């Protein structure tokens, strides 16, 4: 009963009318963001960061979490009806979802996506409820050396697992680490990279960085891509799938739930990778793989279930270890810090109302998504017809006003413009902003804990390997760092061995 008492109290927190309202607002905004191609939950959360200053921490995070998992389903609507993924995690849904729509089964595809999204999220929330406290209790043994090793591993994993070029991801992460050092040294008080500017003395604030890179940068990049024509949406006839459709899709939903849950926990994993892996698995286990790409319902059910499960489970490393698993989690991490809350092992014990309130709000949010998914399709399709030339200036204006109101600082507005230009250039040349933001967030954690560790260990780096947890994390770090070279060496050995076998066979002949 000791375990379930705070869980039940968390439901009491969620059922507060204000929290329920913001949960509804979050999932509706999330669906809207998913429908609008290019904007994405990370950019939206970054733009809305200033709004979180005036509301309670638990209410703010419930809303931001709703935006994140709500966007996963919103992207499905345009993928199925317009062959235009609203979210990166919905790209795979286009393969079979759009074909189903052309076959007159658009309602079936959307219905299966809604049911799968709900099932995957629910399984993931249950896993989060039971696994998060175990991870947090284990992490209570963490000291500065363990946190330093964990932050280092998190930065490397995100940089190397990123969907972009590994070299570009590492460069972006290095820039993020450099930006994290700007400001006064926390130990000596010396100013670093401030160039004599007093506004830089306290370091670069997270909000202008995120709002510029994800908000302004994305808007500029997508305005350049306005030539993408949006065709007339396919009409939705029968809304819900039949019992036969659900029976056929159920195994894919089960596999997608488990895949999404475990891949979402991994740094750099997240909804996009989970949907891709799920589609590949479904095609592999299918009796007739040739059906995929021709309207296979499993090609919609598996990926849609997996991306929602991953969106939920990615909260585990954030809330229990203080390590964001992806770019959007880094934005939510920043929102928590803005509210004066430090995610980590102590969060469950020190602020159970917030922790269980956020976790349990996901049950309510996913029920709301299931109920609203189909009825709001027509509304979202009409919104798609609004020209980017109208939406973009309004979004930029809101972003700039938000940046100014955080600290009533013109300098913050200037930073948003600078980072917006940087975000545009990065996207233009194939650099993802995610690794930069993650490295920026983890950079201060890495530096402070590394220097505390060296003080405790009296400058002996070998001390990291005398502590079991930090030693294990550093060994994993070395393996991940060297894996590309090891894989290349193994592949080369296999190729040489195969060549020798071929030559031997020729000589025998």
Report pLDDT digits (tens) over 331-376: 888 888 877 787 877 788 788 888 888 888 888 888 888 888 767 7
Q: What is the DSSP letter of 462?
A: G
| Dist CA 460 CA 57 (whole Å) | 40
Mean pLDDT taken over the chain? 79
Report pLDDT digits (tens) over 93-118: 877 888 888 787 877 888 888 888 88
Q: Flag whether pLDDT at 401 surpasses 80.
A: no
| Dist CA 446 CA 440 (whole Å) | 10
What percent of the chain is modeled with pLDDT above 90? 2
Contact present, 348 and 132 (Cβ < 8 Å):
yes
Q: Of 42, 34, 36, 117, give the one whose Cα is nearest residue 74.
A: 34
Structural domain includes residue 304: yes
Structural domain includes residue 481: no
Q: HSE of 444 in the Cβ direction (CA atoms, 13 Å)?
A: 20
Compute CA 421 distance to the chain's CA centroid, rounded to the nearest angstrom: 23
Residue with tokens 């591993």: 153
Structural domain includes residue 137: yes
Confidence of residue 282 (pLDDT cuts 50, 70, 90): confident
Confidence of residue 311 (pLDDT cuts 50, 70, 90): confident
Residue burial 251-277, b: 16+ Cβ < 10 Å; e: rest: ebbbbbbbbbbbbbbbbbbbbbbbbbb
Structural domain includes residue 479: no
Report the 10 Å Cβ neighbour count for 78: 27
Count up the domains in the chain and report the number. 1
More confident residue, 331 or 386: 331
Helix/strand/coil percentages in the chain, nearest 5? 80, 0, 20
Structural domain includes residue 388: yes
Report pLDDT digits (tens) over 184-231: 887 777 888 888 788 888 788 877 887 788 778 877 887 776 544 445
Contact present, 145 and 453 (Cβ < 8 Å):
yes
Confidence of residue 506 (pLDDT cuts 50, 70, 90): low
Lowest mean pLDDT across 166-175, 236-245, 342-351: 236-245
Structural domain includes residue 257: yes
Structural domain includes residue 213: yes
Lowest mean pLDDT across 51-65, 338-352, 379-393, 488-502: 379-393
Confidence of residue 236 (pLDDT cuts 50, 70, 90): low
The reported pLDDT for the residue numbered 508 is 63
Which two tokens mark 467? 């502590």
The reported pLDDT for the residue numbered 503 is 72
Q: Flag whether pLDDT at 402 surpasses 80.
A: no
DSSP SS3 for 184: strand
Q: Flag whether pLDDT at 406 surpasses 60.
A: yes
The reported pLDDT for the residue numbered 128 is 84
Confidence of residue 464 (pLDDT cuts 50, 70, 90): confident
> Across the strands, what pairs with 183?
192
Residue burial 161-175, b: 16+ Cβ < 10 Å; e: rest: bbebeeebbbbbbeb
State mean pLDDT over 370-389: 68
Domain hosting 194: range is 4-226+242-466
Structural domain includes residue 471: no
| Dist CA 319 CA 447 (whole Å) | 21
DSSP SS3 for 349: helix
Highest mean pLDDT among 56-60, 330-334, 387-391, 400-404: 56-60
Confidence of residue 422 (pLDDT cuts 50, 70, 90): very high
The reported pLDDT for the residue numbered 229 is 47
| Dist CA 47 CA 43 (whole Å) | 6
Contact present, 270 and 83 (Cβ < 8 Å):
no
More confident residue, 432 or 27: 27
More confident residue, 287 or 163: 287
Describe the crossing of helices 57-82 and 40-48 by its angle, rounded to 10 degrees: 150
Q: Flag whether pLDDT at 1 surpasses 70.
A: no
DSSP SS3 for 416: helix
């Amino acid at each position: 009963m000791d375990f379930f008492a705070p869980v039940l109290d968390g439901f009491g927190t969620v059922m507060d009318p204000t929290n329920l309202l913001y949960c509804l607002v979050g999932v509706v905004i999330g669906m809207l963001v998913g429908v609008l191609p290019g904007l994405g939950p990370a950019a939206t959360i970054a733009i809305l960061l200033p709004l979180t200053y005036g509301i309670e921490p638990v209410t703010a995070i419930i809303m931001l979490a709703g935006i994140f998992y709500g966007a996963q389903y919103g992207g499905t609507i345009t993928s199925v009806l317009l062959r235009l993924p609203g979210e990166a995690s919905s790209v795979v849904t286009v393969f079979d979802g759009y074909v189903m729509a052309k076959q007159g089964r658009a309602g079936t595809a959307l219905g299966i996506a809604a049911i799968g999204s709900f099932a995957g999220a629910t399984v993931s929330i249950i896993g989060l409820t039971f696994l998060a406290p175990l991870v947090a209790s284990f992490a209570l043994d963490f000291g500065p050396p363990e946190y330093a090793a964990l932050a280092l591993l998190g930065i490397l994993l995100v940089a190397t697992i990123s969907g972009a070029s590994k070299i570009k991801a590492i460069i972006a992460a290095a820039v993020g680490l450099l930006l994290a050092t700007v400001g006064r040294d926390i130990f000596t008080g010396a100013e670093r990279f401030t160039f004599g500017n007093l506004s830089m003395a306290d370091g670069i604030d997270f909000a202008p960085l995120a709002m510029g890179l994800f908000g302004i940068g994305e808007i500029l990049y997508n305005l350049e891509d306005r030539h993408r024509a949006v065709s007339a949406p396919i009409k939705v006839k029968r809304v819900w799938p039949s019992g036969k459709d659900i029976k056929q899709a159920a195994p894919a939903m089960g596999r997608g739930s488990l895949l999404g849950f475990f891949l979402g926990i991994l740094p750099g994993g997240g909804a996009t990778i989970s949907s891709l892996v799920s589609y590949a698995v479904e095609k592999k286990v299918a009796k007739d793989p040739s059906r995929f790409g021709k309207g296979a319902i499993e090609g919609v059910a598996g990926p849609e279930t997996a991306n929602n499960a991953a969106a939920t489970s990615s909260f585990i490393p954030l809330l229990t270890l203080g390590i964001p698993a992806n770019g959007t989690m880094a934005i939510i991490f920043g929102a928590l810090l803005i509210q004066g809350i430090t995610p980590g092992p102590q969060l469950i014990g020190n602020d159970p109302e917030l922790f269980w309130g956020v976790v349990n709000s996901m049950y309510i949010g996913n029920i709301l998504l299931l109920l609203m998914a189909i009825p709001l399709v027509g509304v979202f399709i009409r919104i798609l017809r609004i020209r980017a030339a109208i939406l973009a200036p309004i979004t930029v204006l809101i972003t700039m006003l938000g940046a100014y109101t955080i600290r009533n600082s013109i300098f913050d507005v200037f930073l948003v413009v600078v980072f917006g230009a940087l975000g545009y250039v990065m996207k233009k040349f194939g650099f993802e902003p995610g690794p930069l933001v993650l490295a920026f967030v983890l950079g201060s954690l890495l530096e402070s804990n590394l220097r505390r560790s060296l003080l405790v260990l009296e400058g002996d780096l070998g001390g990291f390997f005398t502590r079991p947890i930090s030693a294990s994390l550093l060994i994993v770090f070395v393996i991940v760092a060297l894996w590309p070279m090891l894989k290349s060496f193994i592949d080369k050995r296999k190729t040489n061995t195969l060549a020798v076998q071929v030559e031997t066979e020729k000589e025998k002949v």
